[in-house]
Chain A
Amino acid sequence: MTYLDHAATTPLHPDAIAALNAQFGLVGNANSLHGPGRAARRVVEESREAIAAAFGARPSHVVFTGGGTEADNLAVKGLYWARRAEDPRRTRIVAAKIEHHAVLDALFWLEQHEGAELTWLPVERDGSVRPAALEEALAASAEDVALVTIMWANNEVGTVLPVPELVEIAHRHNVPVHSDAIQAAGHLPVDFTASGLDAMAITGHKLGGPIGVGALLLGRETKLTALQHGGGQERDVRSGTLDTPAIAAFAAAATAARADQPAEFKRLSTLRDRLIEGVLTTIPDAVLSGPPLAEPAPGHAPDRLPGIAHFCFPGCEGDSLLLLLDARGISCSTGSACSAGIAQPSHVLLAMGAGEALARGSLRFSLGRTSTDADVDALLEVLPAVVTRARAAGLS
């Protein structure tokens, strides 16, 4: 089995499995005042410290959630409502159409039901957003802007966005910024404090932790309207009994990812580049999505994620390619896992200016901690014949 879909979810890190096992036999609600409760609480707080350390934050910044989608919804809706409550003029939200559905759909919902006005930043062909574009969007009027939301790195094509620069611009206009860092956390040096962000969403299962736990890193003074009300946990921002085992596993995975990040970045980038070169050589009309391959300039952040290689195969339907590879034991994705099963062209590719026909023939290969040269070899061996057959099947 060749698993090339780490961007969809990752295998549990052994440290995460150990942390889960250590907790499963115990009982205790982290909110209870007695001995067992305090023991659970201690695990949660040590995990909070570990996650804060892994992402350049303070423990008081970390709000645990039930995953990344929840963290994104909490940030986007919570910031919008809080900012609008302070000043009713603030109904504009600035974003780009490359966002994951967890942000995009929350934005559309606010537009349809909460009077939000969405301002879309232009997207470059390589998937990035130029700081000058944000400057232009805010320069005209910023008093009516509730927030800016911009992802750290794109989950479909791998493009890294210049988040610290975008934050600097937004703050000059007194506008808070949220970033969906779900795909970047654990794979790039993501530092919450250094970035200046007001809110940042991360999740466990994209970095070797379990599905079902995530966090919103939130500035201490950042006001947010809660989505989920109840016992008042997590600074009253996110009520609900804390999942102690999952949080412990999340922390273990984040710690390991942080420690391994520089070496893994090099290792995966090399594997990825070999995969890309192999595909482009054996399938001449394949198109690599995102920025062209290049070494990042010294002192500059890399412009693409180390593990993601996304292509468009002209004349092919993504789901035909996927079915044929699946039948040969190779797992990958046509786009984000959430929109799988229906032949829709990727909204990310469309935002980048790719035509609809090309966007439908897309395939994302994503490498991770357990990926090896053998995985790349296995893919390159069968891909040319698969593409030929998919092209014969044509577009539905």
Chain B
Amino acid sequence: MSGGVDSAVAAARAVAAGHEVTGVHLALSRNPQSFRTGARGCCTIEDSRDARRAADVIGIPFYVWDMAERFHADVVDDFVAEYAAGRTPNPCLRCNEKIKFAAVLDKARALGFDAVCTGHYARNVDGAGGRRELHRAADPAKDQSYVLGVLDAEQLASSLFPLGDSLKTEVRAEADRLGLAVADKPDSHDVCFIADGDTRRFLAERLGTAPGQIVDSAGAVVGEHQGAYGYTIGQRKGLRIGDPAGDGRPRYVLDISPVTNTVTVGTAEELSVDALEAGHVRWCGPTGDEAFACSVQLRAHGSPVPAEARYDESAGTVNLAFAESVRGIAPGQTAVLYDGTRVIGSATITATRKATAGAVNTGA
């Protein structure tokens, strides 16, 4: 129970379904005294109180579990390290993989609980052959199956997502009917541990400034930067390089090289990628076939694109070849593979192959 409306209604539905429910608020912030205003940030004392009040109204026991240290090590430190390595992480997936459905689930099971229930918008259903399947939620605007793509079959079997069939508007209305004060609370956006939303400053505070060059794909210097970690592949804003080729066309970040502390920019065409390689493969169900067609979602709010997947079990990698080029794919991001609405699995992008040049970008 985060203190938000989704987890509150999820808890209420779990009770209504006849489960024995205990509400747990995860204290993940090392600075819970910070006051949360509006939609940014999470896990402040106000959030903890909102979660407690919701538990009171629903009528379930409530505890606060302090996981700040583990969260910091597994999610926050990893986030910073990935940027330092020139990659673009997704901390929400890491949190689900390491904290919510691992540390929390392990502790819960050891204490005699059977499952973890959250307010994620996704469907966890019994598919053919009695196996659990993860599917997209009914509300496409709220669908969070992407961030749950890191769950394996065992984690899925011990998870409950009561909101999967509902629209957000229905959930808020239900919260209101139940008398939950959080019915009107705004949803939190962005990275929960960057309260003011300023990721670049957050990273600068931890990685310092390291001035370096911005170059074009031919290697000519076109500008300067204060830290390569502040950029992400596909980024157009904030480059401050003017119009280097004099053609009036925008430039995008093609590559970030922490080793040379160089940011490479190029045209939209140079950004196009037609294949990628990914590691850290996780399957939501049985291990994938060696080769299969699927649709791939590359961002939390991106549209899926068709692709041919090749799984190399011994190498632990998946290769994805796109029917049509895609743009702005950064190593470190997660590719979640779908078969229609069903999540097949996920993998972390390690290398991309540009559609134009034949060179492989490994983000190293």
Binding site for B on A (CB under 8 A): 319-320, 323-324, 326-327, 341-343, 389-390, 392-394, 396
Contact = CB atoms under 8 A, between A and B. Distances in A.
B63 interface: yes
A389 B111 CA distance: 6
A171 to B, nearest CB: 42
A80 B107 CA distance: 46
A323 B110 contact: no
A396 B27 contact: no
B321 interface: no
A323 B63 CA distance: 8
B340 interface: no
Interface residues of B, number: 14
Contacts of A324: 111-112
19 contacts: A319-B63, A320-B110, A320-B111, A323-B22, A323-B63, A323-B111, A324-B112, A327-B22, A341-B63, A343-B66, A389-B110, A389-B111, A389-B112, A390-B111, A393-B107, A393-B110, A393-B111, A396-B65, A396-B67
In the complex, the 6 A-B pairs of residues with the closest C-beta atoms, listed nearest first: A393-B110, A341-B64, A343-B66, A392-B110, A342-B66, A393-B111
B61 interface: yes
B111 A396 contact: no
Contacts of A323: 22, 61, 63, 111
Nearest to B106: A393
B185 interface: no
A326 B111 CA distance: 12
Contacts of B110: 320, 389, 392-394
A8 B67 CA distance: 26
B112 A396 contact: no
Contacts of B70: 396
Contacts of A392: 110
Contacts of B111: 320, 323-324, 389-390, 393
Q: For chain B, what secondary structure do more than half of its interface residues adopt (helix, strand, loop), or is it mixed?
A: mixed
Interface string B92-119: 0000000000010001001110000000
Interface in B40-65: 61, 63-65
Nearest to B111: A393
A135 B160 CA distance: 63
Contacts of B65: 319, 343, 396
Nearest to A393: B110
A151 to B, nearest CB: 27
B61 A326 contact: yes
A358 B103 CA distance: 21
Nearest to A392: B110
A327 B112 CA distance: 11
B63 A396 contact: no
Contacts of B64: 341-342
Contacts of B103: 396
B61 A396 contact: no
A319 B61 CA distance: 14
Given A323-B111, A392-B110, 4 more contacts: A324-B111, A396-B65, A396-B70, A396-B107
B42 to A, nearest CB: 17
B104 to A, nearest CB: 10
Contacts of A343: 65-66
A386 to B, nearest CB: 10
Nearest to B69: A396
Which of B27, B67, B107, B111 has the most chain A CB atoms inside 10 A of its CB? B111
Contacts of B22: 323, 327
A395 to B, nearest CB: 10
B9 to A, nearest CB: 24
A345 to B, nearest CB: 12
Nearest to A322: B63
Interface in B148-207: none
A47 B67 CA distance: 48
Contacts of A390: 111
Contacts of B112: 324, 389
A62 B211 CA distance: 68
A393 B103 CA distance: 11
Nearest to A319: B63
A324 B64 CA distance: 14
Interface string B59-84: 00101111100100000000000000
Nearest to B63: A323
A390 B112 CA distance: 10
